[in-house]
Structure 1
Amino acid sequence: MANVRIQYYGHACFKVSTEKGSAVFDPYEDGSVPGTTLPRNMEADAVFCSHDHHDHNGTERVKLTGRSCPFDVSFLTVPHDDANGKKRGFCRITFLEAGGITVAHLGDLGRLPEEKEYEKLSQADVLLMPCAGYYTIDAGQTKEMLGKLKKPSLKILMHYREGEQGYDVQRSISEVMKIIPEVHRMQETEITVDARDVPDQVITLRPLQAE
């Protein structure tokens, strides 16, 4: 069994690390997300982008180590909107598994999952979930999802507005919490998850930014 370290860099960007290596989800290009800038020294064994938009595919911001990806990887293609992809196309949910723990990054999921998708999502121990609407599912839909997941898991919210960070069209995290009051706001920029004792919580992390 492994421990997985999850670091949050704002918007939909996370770094997932084990003792065997690391991967980054959805790095954003400089200037693509108001109020956010990635650190200059990001490095990983692999980079995964949910879709080809500037705020999710800034692969040049992450230096690859040249080592092989330490995770077993699988994908699930879902609409980026509520019109079966006709508005914004499609994006990928990415599943990373290592040492008995699975992390799912939901990308810019634009509609509630179908039953077969819930089955796949319910296999994850950690879910990185959008919640603030307009480009993704909104807080009400996220709350509905929380009630349909079939196993205890850690849910980390992403893709919301906070202060000067994020898009004006998104709900702020304080607005999200009025709809999902069980959210626990952590002041840390990262969390380490033990595969033997995954907390059944909904949390936010403080984004780690360039100095």
Structure 2
Amino acid sequence: MSLPSVLLRLVASLAFATLASSLSHAQSGEPGCRPEMAGHRLPIQRVQLAKDEVRLTFVGHATFLIETPGGVKIATDYNDYVRPPVTPDIATMNKAHSTHNSRRPDPAIKQVLPGWDPAGKGAAHHDVTLGDVRVRNVPTNIRSYEGGTDYDGNSIFVFEIGDLCIAHLGHLHHPLEPGHLRALGRVDIVLFPVDGSYTLDQEGMLEVLKSLQARVMIPMHFFGGGTLNRFLARTQELWPVERREQPTITLSKAALPTKPTMIVLPGH
């Protein structure tokens, strides 16, 4: 065999070994990539949204990625453990707890909106517009660790995108009062916790959903299928339930269900 042929074979062998090693590291999450953050290294291929559409992806826990037709990306309950696989333009954080807020948000985020006043002087007030989305908050109270009340310690975040109004209830601990309902206005899509213990009990959450009358209701903040199924058993005679196989759903005002519907996205 000639020397050029040997060299070509050697180069090809080295290239194949390098590629195999790279694939092995990528599949194992190495080097130095925390499992829950691995998604940051993966590009997302998205189909362009129509002007009246919104895309929701249930990332996990209480975190959703909301994408607008204008390309704005929003992460709800942005934290240091459960994050979407892209850097959002807006990050909302409902409650000052490690799984609901971040101590080190990505500096590339244009708007970081905590749902409480970090200075402890009152309620948080947000009303910002970025591209084709308006984001505002409605403060609520939460239980303190000592058993008292942390006034204005949580926020319901409202996202107005085109004709759609999406409300993320955050770490809601109590029924909504008339003042909350007036501040929220019409809600088309509601993202709500169903754990029934860390947040509002399941019976109370049912009353919240009845008062909101959103056309799409998407549960979150459940710890295992048992908790979710117990909640759904309470709803079976109230609203139809659709279980989706994918964590992403595209919605538009015109295509909303004709009556309130529970849509369950895979997650935890």
TM tier relative to shorter chain: 0.7 to 0.9
- The answer to whether the 8 A contact 2:76-2:92 is kept is yes
Structure 1 residues 111-165: Cα deviation after superposition (integer angstroms, max 9, x where no partner) = 010012123445121111112222211221121222222x5421111111115xx
User: How do 1:69-148 and structure 2 match up within 5 A?
Assistant: 69-70=130-131, 71-81=133-143, 86-88=148-150, 90-148=153-211
Partner of 1:8: 58
Overall identity of the aligned pairs, in %: 24
Of the three residues 176, 180, 201, the one matched with 2:231 is 176
Shift of 1:9: 0.9
Shift of 1:59: 6.4
Count, aligned residues: 192
Output the TM-score relative to the length of structure 2: 0.63
Partner of 1:205: 265
Structure 1 residues 153-183: Cα deviation after superposition (integer angstroms, max 9, x where no partner) = 21111111115xxxxxxx6111212222244
- The answer to whether the 8 A contact 1:12-1:25 is kept is yes
- The answer to whether the 8 A contact 2:190-2:214 is kept is no
**Would you tell me which structure has more helix in proportion to its own residues?**
2
Counterpart amino acid of residue 158 in structure 1: M
Give the greater-gyration-radius structure (CA): 2
- The answer to whether the 8 A contact 1:80-1:88 is kept is yes
Give the distance between the partners of 1:141 and 1:29, measured in 2 at CA: 30
Give 5+ residue unaligned stretches, structure 2.
Answer: 1-50, 112-128
Give the distance between the partners of 1:19 and 1:158, measured in 2 at CA: 24
Q: Return the structure number with greater relative CO, CA threshold 8 A, min gap 6.
A: 1
RMSD of equivalent CA atoms: 2.7
Counterpart amino acid of residue 130 in structure 2: C
Output the TM-score relative to the length of structure 1: 0.79
Counterpart amino acid of residue 56 in structure 2: I
